[in-house]
């Protein structure tokens, strides 16, 4: 079985590759990544010598390159993690999000139609549903919740989901989609909330918190997400959407205070900053469908997962410090420049 993983040098994609090579050691994993600012090839160092792993620097919008790779590798499964994903960046420049997240997804599905695959899996986000009110804890996102995207990022992801379903209905492409809540864990890019707060706290720098800090997210340990995708690939029904969430709702300010407590740092480091434009108040996923159909439930409690995550960033300072310094971008040239 050959699995093509796009965006595999990013946070969730890389963790998925580690998971698949461990759980399915006979599978061949082909990873492509454009290596934009958030793609870090050094993240894949633990598997780069694995004989069942191949990496190629490639943009999913490059139709000629994608078709060539499909001809060479003949993948059985395609898992599309490749996406511009930072909301703040989408507000500053929406165009690159539309190009990668919409056009790039369509290029991949065209290649799947041309060369034939057993499954195309689109990795989505719960942000396509918009947000929920803080005073209605009884409300959750289900797969039937209307799409009501708030940002250019979430709008582009909603568009990609709709195109994927259109390819399923029109061309019979075996598509599945997962929409997951906020992930956390090892190898997350330091601009995201949890690693940013850890890095700033360790440096005794201010911890910037948007608005009142009461925005609520549903947090899921990244390995639990990887396991959910694996189950969907092998047992999920084509044409279906599966919500993946942890029933771990936490406000941003609670997360920040918890991290400060773990690191023994004072709450005086917290600095409230002007809120993000159109900032969604609450996300909460109902994962009843994936539990009922595939037996999935999250295995990592947040209290345990956040301790493991903080410990990983303490033990792997070189990884994120090279990102903050910008040196991580030199790794590709070091590894592949003369090949």
CB 193 within 8 A of CB 136: no
Burial of 67 (0-12, 13-18, 19+ CB in 10 A): middle
Give the C-alpha separation, 153 to 89, whole Å.
8
Give the three-state DSSP class for 110.
helix
Give the C-alpha separation, 56 to 35, whole Å.
10
Tell me the CA distances in angstroms from 220 to 79, 280, 309, one per residue in order: 19, 18, 12
* Positions marked catalytic: 126-127, 153
Handedness of CA 35, 241, 283, 87 (dihedral sign): positive
Of 14, 7, 6, residue with least CA distance to 222: 14
Contacts of 150 (CB under 8 A, 6+ apart): 127, 130, 131, 278, 280
Give the C-alpha separation, 250 to 217, whole Å.
6
Give the C-alpha separation, 87 to 85, whole Å.
6
* 206 phi/psi in degrees, rounded to 5: -60, 145
Give the C-alpha separation, 167 to 173, whole Å.
6
Write the DSSP assignment of 70-81 as a string of letters. HHHH--SEEEE-
For the chain, strand residue ranges (E) read 2-6, 28-33, 53-57, 77-80, 119-125, 175-180, 182-184, 207-210, 216-221, 240-244, 249-251, 270-273
209 bridge partner residues: 272
């Amino acid at each position: 079985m050959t699995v093509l993983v796009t965006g595999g040098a990013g946070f969730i994609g890389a963790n998925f590759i580690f998971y698949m090579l461990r759980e399915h050691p006979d599978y061949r994993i082909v990873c492509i990544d454009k290596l934009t600012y958030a793609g870090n090839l050094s993240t894949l160092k633990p598997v780069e010598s694995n004989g069942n792993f191949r990496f190629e620097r490639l943009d999913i919008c490059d139709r000629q390159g994608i078709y060539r790779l499909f001809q060479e590798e003949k993948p059985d499964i395609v898992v599309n993690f490749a996406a511009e994903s930072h909301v703040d960046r989408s507000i500053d420049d929406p165009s690159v999000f539309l190009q990668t997240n919409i056009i790039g997804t369509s290029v991949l599905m065209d290649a799947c139609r041309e060369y034939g695959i057993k499954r195309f899996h689109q990795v989505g986000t719960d942000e396509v549903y918009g947000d929920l009110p803080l005073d209605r804890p009884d409300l959750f996102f289900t797969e039937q919740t209307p799409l009501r995207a708030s940002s250019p990022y979430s709008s582009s992801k909603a568009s990609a989901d709709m195109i994927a379903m259109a390819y399923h209905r029109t061309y019979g492409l075996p598509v599945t989609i997962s929409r997951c809540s906020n992930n956390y864990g090892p190898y997350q890019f330091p601009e995201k909330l949890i690693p940013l707060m850890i890095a700033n706290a360790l440096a005794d720098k201010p911890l910037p918190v948007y608005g009142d800090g009461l925005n609520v997210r549903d947090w899921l340990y990244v390995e639990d997400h990887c396991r959910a995708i694996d189950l969907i690939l092998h047992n999920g029904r084509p044409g279906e959407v599966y919500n993946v969430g942890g029933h771990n709702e936490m406000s941003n300010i609670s997360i920040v205070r918890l991290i400060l407590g773990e690191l023994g740092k004072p709450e005086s480091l917290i600095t409230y900053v002007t809120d993000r434009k159109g900032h969604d108040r609450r996300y909460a996923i109902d994962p009843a469908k994936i539990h009922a159909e595939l037996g999935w439930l999250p295995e990592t409690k947040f209290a345990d997962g956040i301790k493991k995550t903080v410990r990983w960033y303490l033990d792997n300072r070189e990884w994120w410090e090279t990102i903050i310094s910008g040196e991580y971008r030199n790794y590709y040239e070091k590894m592949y420049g003369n090949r």
